Amino acid sequence: MLSFIIKWILSAVAVLIAAYILPGVEVESFWAALLVAVILSLFNAVLRPILVILTIPVTVLTLGLFLLVINAVIVLLTDAMVGDFYVSGFWWALIFSLVISVLGAIFDNIAESIG
């Protein structure tokens, strides 16, 4: 349970860092970042596999690059659900998802080192 909470907080910190770095993304508060982290996690666990399966032909034709589009769509859906989280458009959502992925990998390594 403690590792789950640590990963959740680190995900929220990653959202805040990405929003700070990217001018096209805004997060109003740490609580909004926590909510964004939860919703992104839920969408990635439930919605993403469905979208990946439905778009296998396009993903194969684009050599996997269409998965980036799926990530951006998930970020835009999160933007629509969280009132204090704003993404200026598709390209900012795509860049945000890339930054979150890199920061998430770094923070996962840190979390595994701690506990």
Instruction: Map residue 63 onto helix, strand or coil.
Output: coil
What is the percent of the chain where pLDDT is above 70? 99
Check residue 83 and give its pLDDT. Answer: 92
Q: Is the pTM value of this prediction over 0.85?
A: yes
pLDDT in tens, 25-69: 999 999 999 999 999 999 999 999 999 999 999 999 999 999 999
pLDDT reading at 115 higher than 80: no
Long-range contacts of 100-107 (CB under 8 A, 24+ apart): 100/14, 100/15, 100/18, 100/40, 101/71, 103/14, 103/17, 103/18, 104/10, 104/11, 104/14, 107/7, 107/10, 107/11, 107/13, 107/14
Check residue 111 and give its pLDDT. Answer: 78
